[in-house]
């Protein structure tokens, strides 16, 4: 099953580092980096607003656990946002 994973990071350099690790390691067919995403969230009882970068990762469901492991190792946040969705349609050219 094909999946798409969303991950946000605070720094462009970090986004590129994670994207390259996943693509070079064969865990992702493609990673898009969308710059300048505004995130509004509640953290430790306070409302927060941050400029972040969104990674959109295309992969296979069978690789999700390993992707999560790699992202946790490379991500600077205490709690990394990692959200995965199953792809139910479209033109799919993943390996």
Domains of the chain: 2-86 (3.30.70.120)
**This prediction's pTM:** 0.88
Q: What is the mean pLDDT of the chain?
A: 93
- Cα distances from 85 to residues 4, 17, 36, 56, 61, in angstroms, run 5, 22, 22, 11, 9
Q: What pLDDT does residue 92 have?
A: 61
Q: At what angle do helices 64-74 and 12-24 cross, to 10 degrees?
A: 140
The pLDDT-based confidence of 20 (bands split at 50, 70, 90) is very high
Q: Phi/psi at 90 (nearest 5 deg)?
A: 120, 180
- Cα distances from 52 to residues 14, 16, 28, 49, 64, in angstroms, run 11, 13, 21, 10, 22
């Amino acid at each position: 099953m094909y999946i798409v994973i969303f991950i946000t990071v605070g720094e462009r350099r970090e986004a590129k580092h994670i994207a390259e690790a996943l693509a070079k390691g064969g865990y992702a067919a493609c990673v898009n980096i969308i710059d300048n995403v505004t995130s509004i969230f509640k953290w430790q009882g306070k409302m927060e607003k941050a400029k972040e970068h969104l990674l959109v990762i295309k992969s296979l469901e069978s690789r999700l656990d390993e992707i999560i492991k790699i992202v946790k190792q490379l991500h600077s946040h205490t709690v990394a946002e990692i959200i995965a969705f199953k792809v139910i349609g479209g033109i799919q050219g993943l390996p």
